[in-house]
Amino acid sequence: MVLRKFVSSSNSDNSQSDPDCDFAAEVLGAVFERLVELKAWFEVQTLYHFYSCSVLVVYEKEKGNTKPLVKLVDFAHVVSGNGVIDHNFLGGLCSFINFIRDILQALHH
């Protein structure tokens, strides 16, 4: 429900109303694309391993700009990768990508 409210085109703060999802495909599609770009980088980078990192997703629906900003934040716990791919972070990122993909597929059905 929180993710539906996040992509809702409604400006209502009424938690009882069912949020519409007019922007959902556009916003989540752009989030998906950016996450896939991050995944491509994590599939080849071996310099760092990230622990307790967060993915921040922001967009301003009031201004009519549904292009979200997707950034890695809170990565204070980064250690040397010693030439090895960070499969732990990559696995979590893939799970998030699959979650967004599932939502996008449900929107198109």
Q: CATH number, domain at 36?
A: 3.30.470.160
Task: Give the pLDDT confidence score for residue 92 in this predicted structure.
Answer: 94
pLDDT tens per residue across span 45-94: 999 999 888 899 988 876 666 688 999 998 788 999 999 999 999 999 99
Mean pLDDT across the stretch 87-109? 91
Q: How many domains does the chain have?
A: 1
For residue 49, how many other CB atoms are within 10 A of its CB?
19
Angle separating helix axes 87-107 and 24-42, nearest 10 degrees = 160
Structure confidence by residue, pLDDT tens digits, 7-56: 766 665 555 555 566 778 888 999 999 999 999 999 999 999 998 888 99
Q: Which structural domain range is residue 53 located in?
A: 2-107
